[in-house]
Structure 1
Amino acid sequence: MRFLPTKRTLKRWAIGLGILLGVLLLINAGLAWSVESRFERLVADVRAQGDPASIAELAPPPIPAAENAAVQIDAIRPWLTDFSKDYGAFYETELGKQLDNLQPGEMPDDKQAEAMRAILDRYADLERQIEAASAAPQYASTADFSLAFNAFTEAQLARLQHLRTIARFVDWRVQTLLADGNQEAAIDWSLSLIKLSALCGQEPTTVSFLVTVAMRTIALHDLHQSLLAGPADAATHAKVDRVLEALEQDVRLEQVFRTERAFGISACIEQGWRSAPPVIGSFLGWPIKRVFLRPIEFYLEIIPLADAPYHEVKQEFQAGGKLAVPTGKGVFADLLAPSVEATIKAANRDTAFIRSLRVLNALQQSGDDAPSLDDIDLPATSKIDPFTGQPLVVKKTDAGWLVYSVGENQTDDGGMLEEVQDVGFGPVQGVGSEGDEG
C-alpha cells in the first residue's frame, strides 16, 4: 500500500502551486499598481488645483523681514521663554493661586495687579516688540519646511507655544491697564492681540489654527471686559467694529484643511511609502500605503464643507453622512473625522464670539436707546448664530446686555457662558455698568 504521493502527483502539485503563486503575484502587483497610481493621481490633482502637496510646498513666498510679523516674533522668543517662566512661577505663589481662582471676567485685586505689573515691567522691550509685530502688514511663516514630518511637528509645536505666551502677556497687560483705569489702552491692546492672531493664522495645519483661535478667544474676552469698563466714544466703537468685521471675514477653515492635507501627504510618503526598503515597499507595502492614502482621499469630502456653518454640516457627521464614523475609508480616516468635527466646531465658536461681540459693541454704542437686533446696523449674516442659522439671542438684563449663540448643542441654556453651553458675552462681575454706556 502506497502512502506517499507519486512523483507525478508531486509534479502536479508543484505546477498547481506555481500557477497559484503566479496568480497571487499578479493580483498583488495589480493592487500595488492601483494604490501607487491612486496616490500619484491624487498628488497631481492637488497640485493642479494650486494647492500644496507636501510640507516643503507649504513654505510661503519670501517677504521683507521688516514687514513680516513672524520674523519679529522670532526675535523675541528668548524674552518669551523668560516671561513664560516668570508667569508660571507667579501662579505657584499664593497671590497667583488666588488670581487663578478668579471667576471669568473678575478683576485682579490691587496686590495681584501690582505683582503682575512688576513682572510685566521687566519686559518693556518685549512689550514694544509685540506691539510692533501686531502692526506688521504681513505674515510669512518662518518654520523650517525642509524638515521631515515628525521633526516638523515637534518644531512647530515649540514655535506655537510662543504664540500662547504672547496672548498671556497681553492678557496680563490688559488686566493691569484696567486696574489702573486706562480703558483706552486696554482696548487698543486687545485689538492688537486680535490683529496678531489673524496674522498668525497664516501658519499651516489645524494645530496652528486652533492655537490662533485660542489667542483670539483671550483677546475677544479682554476686549469685552475693556468695553465694559466705562463709556466709550463713537470713534472707539467704530474702531472696534472695523477690527471685528475684518476678523469675521478672515476666518477661512477650507484653507486650513488644504494645508493639513499637504501635511498628511508628507506623512503618507514618509510613514507609508518609505517605511520599508524600496523593493519590499513597492511589492508588498501596498496594504500599509492604502491605510495612509485613504484619509488623504477623505479630504475630498471634508474641504467642500469646511466653511459651511455648523448647522448645515452637523448632519454629515451623523449616521449616513459623508463624514460619519465609520467612514468606510479605514481606521485613520475614522480617527480623522472626529478631529475634523472638533475643528469645525471651534471655528464656529470663534465666529459666534466675533458676531456676539459685534452686536454687543453696537448695542453699547446705542445706550438706553438700543434698537432691536433687526435694526442694528450690521450685515444680516453678522447677526446669525452659526450653530442654528437663527438670529443670535439678545437679552437686556438688570446688569446689562447679554448676547450669545446657543452653541453646538443647539439649545438655549439661558446664557450659560462660563460653561460654554452658550457662546457669547454678557455682564461681567465687578466691571463697569453697561446701562451707563453709550
Structure 2
Amino acid sequence: MKRLFRWLLVAAILAVAIAGIVFLPDLRYRKLANEYPQALAAAKAAGIPTNAEEFAPAPIPDEENAAIELKVAMELYDSDRSAISDRVNEIKKAVEDPSATVPAPTPDMVQIMNICRTAAKKPKCQFTKDWSDPINTTFPEYAPLKNFARMLDADMIIKARAGQWDIVHENALAVQKLADFSASDQVLIGGLVSVAIKSINYSSLVQIVDESNAHPRILEIIEDVCAKNQNIKPSHIFRGEAYMSMYAAEFAADKQRHKEFEEMMTGWGGMSDTSTYSSGTLIDKLKDLFSRSTDEETPRPRSFTARRAQATTLVQLTTEMYQPILQGDLRWEEAAKSLDYENRINNMQPSVENELAVYIFPMFDQAFLSFRVSELRAQLLETAVEIHRYHAAKGRFPKTGDIVLPTDPFSGKDLLLKSSATGFQLYSVGANGKDDGGIYKNPVSNRDIDLVYQFRMPDTVFSGR
C-alpha cells in the first residue's frame, strides 16, 4: 500500500510539474490577453480605423477620378515598360546639358504625357484597392506615376528652351497633381513617392529659371505651382499606418486567424521589388518575428494567449501614439514630438508581450525629414521668385533686411540670404540645425549640408568650411 501511495505521489508531482510547464507561462500573459476587447474599444473611440470599412475611402465618381485616365496610361507604359524607361533615362540625362542633342520621346510616351495632362484636370484619384487584406495590398501605380513625372519634367525643360511656356505651365501643374494623386492612399510609402515627384518638379523649375535667366513666365509658373501645392498632413499619412498596425493585431488576437497570419508571412516579398510598391516594411519585420526558431535568444511565443497579449500591447501603443495625430492638425515637427517613437520603443522593457509592438512600427525619422524638406523646398521657391522680382525692379539682388524672409523650420529663425552682383543663395540650415555656410554638397557627410536655392552663384564662393 505504501508502495502504491509513493507511486501515486510521484505521478501527482509529475502531473503538477507538467501542468506548470504547459500552463504557467500562459498565466503571465492571461490578464493582458483578456484586456484585448477593451483595448480595441478604446482604439475605436479614439478614431483609430480598426477594419476596412472604417479605413477605406468613399468611392469617387468616374468623372472626378483621374485613375480612369491614368490606368490607360499605365497600360501603354506596361506594353513596353523597359524601352520606355530606357528612353526616359536617356532624355533625362540629355536635358541636363543645354548643348546636348535630346532624343525624341516614343509615340507611346507622347500619348502618356497627353493622358497625364488630361488626368491632372480632375480633382481626385482613387485606384481600386482591397483594404480588407492590406498585407497583400500592393501599389503598382507608384512606379509608373514617378516615371510619368520624369517624362513631363524632361518635356518641360525642352519646351522652355523652345519658349513654349503654356506647355511648360501645363506640365508643371500635371507633375504636381501626380504627386497629390500618389499620396491619396493614406499610407506612408504613398506620401514618400509624392515627395519624390515634387522634388522632380522643383528641380526642373529651378533649372529652367537658371537657363532662362529668370524669365517672367517661369516665375509666374512657379508662383502658380506653389499656390496649388498641397502639403501632406501627418493625419492623412498616419491613418494608414495606424490601420496596418490594427490589422496585424487583429490576426494575432484571433485564435483561428493567428495561424493564418503566420502562414501568410511565408514568402512575403515586402518592399524588395520597388517596381510594385507594397504596403510597408513592417510586414518584413513581422515575417522575421514569426519565423524565429525556438533556439534563438528571443524565441517567438507559441501559445495563443501570449500572441493575444502581444495584440493588446500593440493596440494600446497604436492608440497612444496615433490618437493625437489623427485627431489634431499637427505639423510634421509637432507630429514627430507627439509620436516620440524612439523614446517610447527604447523605454519599453524587453518582453514577449512588447515584442510585436516593437517590431510593427517603422522607423519614422527619415520620413519626417523628407516631408519637412519637401515643404521647405516649396517655400524656398516662393521666396526666390520674390528675390528675382526684386532684382528685376531694382537692378540688384536684395541683401538681408531688404525683404521679409520666411522662418526656417529647422532653426526657428529667418531663412539665410547671401547675395552678390552675380546671384544669390537662399537657404535653410537643414536637419543638423547648423549654418554650414550655404554648402549643399559635402562628400564627407550628407548631414553637414544646407538646403539651398542658388542662382548663378559660383560654388567656389561658399565652398569652404
Structure 2 vs 1, CA of residues 356 and 47 (structure 1 numbering), >3 Å: closer, same or farther? same
Q: Is contact 2:159–2:165 with CA below 8 Å preserved after alignment? A: yes
Matches of 1:194 and 1:178, distance apart in 2 = 17
CA contact (8 A) 2:113 2:148 kept: no
Are the equivalent residues in 1 in contact too, given 2:175–2:198 (CA < 8 A)?
yes
In structure 2, the partner of 1:137 is 123
Change (3 A) 1:374 1:27: farther
- Select 1:123's aligned residue among 87, 109, 116: 109
Given candidates 423, 438, 442, the residue that maps to 1:400 is 423
Shift of 1:410: 1.8
- 1:225 aligned residue (180, 187, 207): 207
Shift in Å at residue 404 of structure 1? 2.2
1:8 equivalent in structure 2: 5
2:363 match: secondary structure = helix
1:109 counterpart (99, 105, 108):
99
Query: Which consecutive unaligned segments of at least 5 residues does structure 1 have?
Result: 431-438
| Alignment-derived partner of residue 77 in structure 1 | 74
Distance 1:247 1:91 in 2: 25
| Structure 2 residue 420 is the aligned partner of structure 1 residue 422 | no
**Cα distance change of structure 1 residues 211 and 297 upon mapping to structure 2, 3 Å threshold:** farther
Measure, in 1, the Cα distance between the counterparts of 2:105 and 2:377. Answer: 30
CA–CA distance in 1 between the matches of 2:441 and 2:160?
A: 21
Say which of 355, 362, 367 aligns to 2:379.
355
Quick one: which amino acid aligns to residue 122 of structure 2?
A: A
1:286 aligns with 2:271: no
Q: 1:367 to 1:28 in 2, by over 3 A?
A: same
Q: CA deviation at 1:73?
A: 1.5
Measure how far apart 1:315 and its partner are: 11
Whether the aligned pair in 2 keeps the contact of 1:141 and 1:202 (CA below 8 Å) is no
- Of 286-295 and 205-214, the range deviating more from structure 2: 286-295
CA gap 1:277/1:33 in 2 versus in 1, 3 angstroms: farther
Residue pairs, 1:8-27, within 5 angstroms? 8-19=5-16, 25=23
SS at match of 1:426: strand
Q: Secondary structure at the match of 1:198?
A: helix
Matched to 1:202, the amino acid is S
Contact 1:393 1:403 in 2 (8 A): yes
Partner of 1:435: none
Asked whether the equivalents of residues 310 and 388 of structure 1 are also in contact (C-alpha less than 8 Å), the reply is no
Report deviation, 1:130. 0.3
CA contact (8 A) 1:395 1:403 kept: yes
Q: CA deviation at 1:171?
A: 1.7
The alpha-carbon deviation at position 371 of structure 1 amounts to: 5.4
Question: How far is the alpha carbon of 1:192 from its aligned partner?
Answer: 2.3
Residues 314 and 413 of structure 1: CA distance in aligned 2, closer, same or farther (over 3 Å) = farther
TM-score (norm 2): 0.72
| 2: CA distance, partners of 1:212 / 1:83 | 24
Aligned AA (2:159): L
Distance 1:426 1:405 in 2: 12
Residues 308-338 of structure 1: per-residue CA shift (max 9 Å, x gap): 45499479869xx634536447455445666
Judging changes above 3 Å, is the alpha-carbon distance between structure 1 residues 187 and 242 closer, same or farther for their aligned structure 2 residues?
closer
| Counterpart among 235, 239, 260 of residue 254 in structure 1 | 235
Q: Distance in 2 between matches of 1:42 and 1:373?
A: 54
Deviation at 1:232, TM superposition (A): 4.2
Structure 1 position 177 matched with structure 2 position 201: no
TM-score (norm 1): 0.76
5 Å-filtered alignment, 1:308-327, equals 308-310=331-333, 313=336, 322-323=343-344, 325=346, 327=348
What letter is aligned with 1:218? I
C-alpha distance in structure 2 between counterparts of 1:191 and 1:374, whole Å: 33
Structure 1 SS opposite 2:112: helix
Q: C-alpha separation between the residues in 2 aligned to 1:80 and 1:429?
A: 40
Distance in 2 between residues matched to 1:290 and 1:256, nearest whole Å: 27
Q: Deviations over 1:128-181 (max 9, x none)?
A: 2101221211233422334x34421xx32x222122122121122122223324
Cα RMSD (Å) of the superposition? 3.9
Distance 1:312 1:252 in 2: 10
Deviations 1:45-76 (A, max 9, x none): 33334442235543211121111122322222
Counterpart for residue 411 of structure 1: 434
> Per-residue CA shift, 1:175-213, capped at 9, x if unaligned?
222332434532441232113312332112111111111
Instruction: Tell me what 1:189 maps to.
Output: 171
Residue 183 of structure 2 corresponds to: 201
Counterpart CA distance in 2 for 1:289 and 1:424 is 50
Would you say 1:275 and 2:258 are equivalent positions? yes
Aligned CA distance change for structure 1 residues 88 and 239 (closer, same or farther; 3 Å): closer
Alpha-carbon separation, structure 2, partners of 1:305 and 1:416: 34
In structure 2, the gaps of 5 or more residues are: 262-300, 459-465
In the superposition, relative to structure 1, how do residues 401 and 292 fare at CA in structure 2: closer, same or farther (>3 Å)?
farther
Cα separation, 2, equivalents of 1:64 and 1:212: 23
| Inter-CA distance 354–35: structure 2 relative to 1 (3 Å threshold) | farther
Shift of the alpha carbon at 1:17? 4.7
8 A Cα contact 1:220 1:354, kept in partner: yes
Mean alpha-carbon deviation: is it higher for 213-222 or for 398-407?
A: 398-407
What's 2:195 paired with? 213
Aligned to 2:414: 391
Pick from 284, 303, 318: which aligns with 1:299?
Answer: 318
Structure 1 residue 217: Cα displacement: 0.9
SS in 1 for 2:130: coil
SS in structure 2 at match of 1:123: helix
Residue 120 of structure 2 contacts residue 174 of structure 2 at CA under 8 Å; is this kept in 1?
A: yes
Q: Distance between the aligned counterparts of 1:290 and 1:428, measured in 2? A: 61
User: How many residues of Structure 1 are paired with residues of Structure 2 in the alignment?
Assistant: 400
**1:199-241 deviation per Cα after TM superposition (whole angstroms, max 9, x unaligned):** 33211211111111111111121222233324444x8746633
Instruction: State whether residues 205 and 218 of structure 2, in contact with CA within 8 Å, keep that contact through their aligned partners in structure 1.
Output: no
Query: Residue type of the partner of 2:410?
Result: F
Which of 3, 22, 32 is matched with 1:34 structurally? 32
Percent of matched pairs sharing the same residue: 18
Change in CA separation of 1:65 and 1:384 when aligned onto 2, cut-off 3 Å: same
